[in-house]
A and B are shown apart, each in its own frame.
Chain A
Amino acid sequence: MSPFDSNIAHLLAGSMVLVSFLLLYQDRMLPLLNFFAIHACVLACSVGWQAYVQRAPHLFITALIALLFKGVMIPVALRRIVVRLGIHRTIENVVSIGPTMLFGIALVGLSIIVMLPVTQSAATFVREDLAFALSVVLLGFLMMVMRRNAVSQVIGFMSLENGLVLAASGARGMPLVVEISVGFSVLIAFFVVGIFLFRIRERFDTVDLQALDMSRGEST
């Protein structure tokens, strides 16, 4: 890998960490969804670049999944749910923005301190890539812990999962990356359906589908 190639890869992986911070900071629902879409698009670019420099065409499939599924379909679906159920109000944070950001910075520092020494035998590029990926994973965790809202918890989980895909694509020649990203997509699709069911419960006070059948004028 030439210095130029690895610089581009670092730029893209670093951008993901940056967008993770933006997600952490964002306290309104619709911009949060937009930033998640950007997160997924940066991931797609990063994985695509890995596919190109590693000469690994199967990674293009992973990049494509990231772009179409997580960059377009999921944000659109969540936006429709959020708007339809009328929950695009401010997200309540457990801790205020300032301490959260400081904590996030500490986590990034932690992941660099943990990853760089243990990966000394690995190629230079893999080291930084893993440190970035672990940062994204930890920031995703932080977001899941800090948010109470189901939708933003799921966005936290998806950004965490983006970090995992980043790590997997950086591991040279790792098999099954495509299968794993498909597996995660299934998981996320379930999350979205789950949110939908949950929101229904809050509105109708039940997710008992029999009650819903009755509300549509059907009976079983």
Chain B
Amino acid sequence: MNVSIGAVALAGILGIPLLGIVLLAAIPNYRFAAPLNVALCAITLVSSGALYSHRPEPSLYLIVDDVNTVFLIVGALVGFTTSVFSAGYIAHELQTRRLRPRDLRFYHAMYQLLMFAMNLALVSNNIGLMWVAIEMATLTTVMMVGIYRTSAALEAAWKYFILGSVGIALALFGTILVYLAAEGSLGEGMPAMAWDRLSTHSAGFDPALLNLSFVFLLLGYGTKVGLVPVHAWLPDAHAEGPTPISAVLSGLLLNVALFALLRFKMIMAGNPGVISPGPMMVTMGLASLIFAGLMIYRRRDIKRMFAYSSIEHMGIITFAFGLGGPFANFAGLLQMVMHSLTKSGIFFGVGYVCQLEGTQQIADIRGLTHSQPLLGWLLLFGVMAIAGLPPFGIFTSEFLLVTSTFARAPWLAMLLVVGLLIAFSALMLRIHGMAFGATDKRHSLAAYRLAPMALHLTLVAIAGVYLPGAIVAWFRHVAILLG
């Protein structure tokens, strides 16, 4: 019985978005399409939730295990709340004529295609299939980033396109090398690309080939994660596209690319002869953290600023997973979930801020707690959460990470703390004027519009105070699996 529920749920998370692409591309009326988009995302969320307790049998192409369920559920949740936010956001864009009804048909179909591609990348048991899915997700987001068709948006989309494609090409070369390393002991054909077999048999692979492959994979998928020095596409893509896409990019797509990297790290971990991938990830993670922290100071565009904050957090998460061990992995996993929820929540708020103020310039956004109190305070709480203040969940994960790093590598911990403080003070400096500056403007915004943002921040606050035992046990188990 369990097997069949799991299989249905697996079919759900892949089939519902596919169905959605067809339906939403066919429906011309956006008033109907936006709620349908929300409904489809809700069904996908329920299906992914079912995968938590019911796992289908792994096949050569698809697998559901403890590791990818975390990513799947977080992804489906953020996908669902973003679709709710997007419905309100899009209606306003239509009113101001930045988008036309025809664009919306395209937008909604692409949204479901993106959900499909990300779910496929997460559940694929085949490193080739995973590559194809991540390429598909990249193409989809490129088109959504360019949807406003302003020259800045096209510029950003083109940059993202070129850099993303180069990253993807590098990742493919790495994938081919992994296959060549595995083919000797697993035989030719499909099994040598199946992830579950690769990770259990990796002890017999050629270490030199694996080493080389990881360099390509780290640079290739690292481009998609947004790690310094291959991050250049990320701020542009976040700033110029529609805000729901910024939320999905930060909250989901970066995680999916990181997940691909973790899969390969687990393959490397099984082979005693390889150089450890940890130090490479730690270095890139720290570089991203410190570099992005410094960049936040200089930003004038609010979406660009939060995009750099995403680079900073992906740096922290990569650092944690690179450090390895149950504690740091646990912290990394928690940080990843908390960052997804907080950052997408912040982007929901930023989307409304930009619409109400009619600008993305930080200097022109003033006194939000006065002009639209609910939005202003929520944004302030969001920034406090992302900067790592208690009682929010990111404080918990950063605290865990810092303490476990101090126990193992004090020098690295110093750098980590310096990086965290730089980003913290930069964010506080910028939010102050936006939240409390003098203004005489008044904006009206229906409170229910802010429900997705409030939900995300509430979840993050609850997680900071009390993590349910079941989730702790689950994350601890995954942290051990990640090695």
* Chain A positions near chain B (C-beta within 8 angstroms): 114-115, 117-122, 126, 130, 134, 137, 141, 144, 150, 153, 157, 160-161, 164, 167-168, 171-176, 179-180, 183, 186-187, 190-191, 194, 197-198, 201, 206-210, 220
CA gap between A63 and B210 in the complex, in Å: 28
**Cβ of B169 and Cβ of A206 under 8 Å apart?**
no
Q: Known contacts being A171-B183, A175-B189, is A157 close to B165, with CB within 8 Å?
A: yes
Q: Known contacts being A153-B162, A186-B139, A201-B151, is A121 close to B183, with CB within 8 Å?
A: no
B129 within 8 A of A: yes
**Cβ of B151 and Cβ of A207 under 8 Å apart?**
yes
CA gap between A119 and B180 in the complex, in Å: 9
**Cβ of B209 and Cβ of A118 under 8 Å apart?**
yes
B357 within 8 A of A: no
Q: Smallest distance from the beta carbon of B271 to chain A beta carbons, Å?
A: 14
Residues of B within 8 A of A161 (CB): 169
Binary flags per residue of B149-192, CB closer than 8 Å to A gives 1, else 0: 11100100110011001101100110010011001100011101
User: Which interface class (under 10, 10 to 19, 20 to 34, 35 or more) fits B?
Assistant: 35 or more
* Chain B positions near chain A (C-beta within 8 angstroms): 100, 126, 128-129, 131-132, 135-136, 139, 142, 149-151, 154, 157-158, 161-162, 165-166, 168-169, 172-173, 176, 179-180, 183-184, 188-190, 192-193, 206, 208-209, 211-212
**Cβ of A172 and Cβ of B166 under 8 Å apart?**
no
Residues of B within 8 A of A187 (CB): 135, 139, 165, 168
Q: Smallest distance from the beta carbon of A160 to chain B beta carbons, Å?
A: 6
**Cβ of B129 and Cβ of A176 under 8 Å apart?**
yes
Q: Which 4 A-B pairs have the closest CB atoms?
A: A173-B188, A118-B208, A176-B128, A175-B190
Task: Choose one: B131, B149, B192, B209; the contact of A119 (CB below 8 Å).
Answer: B209
**Cβ of A157 and Cβ of B166 under 8 Å apart?**
yes
**Cβ of A173 and Cβ of B166 under 8 Å apart?**
no
Residues of A within 8 A of B129 (CB): 176
What are 10 pairs between A and B in contact, CB < 8 Å? Answer: A118-B212, A122-B184, A137-B169, A161-B169, A168-B172, A175-B190, A179-B128, A190-B142, A194-B157, A207-B154
| Contact residues of A: prevailing secondary structure | helix
Task: Taking A122-B209, A172-B183, A183-B136 as given, write out 12 further A-B residue pairs in contact, using a Cβ cutoff of 8 Å, ordered by the A residue number.
Answer: A119-B208, A121-B206, A160-B166, A168-B176, A171-B179, A171-B180, A174-B176, A175-B190, A190-B139, A191-B165, A198-B158, A209-B149
Q: Smallest distance from the beta carbon of A115 to chain B beta carbons, Å?
A: 8
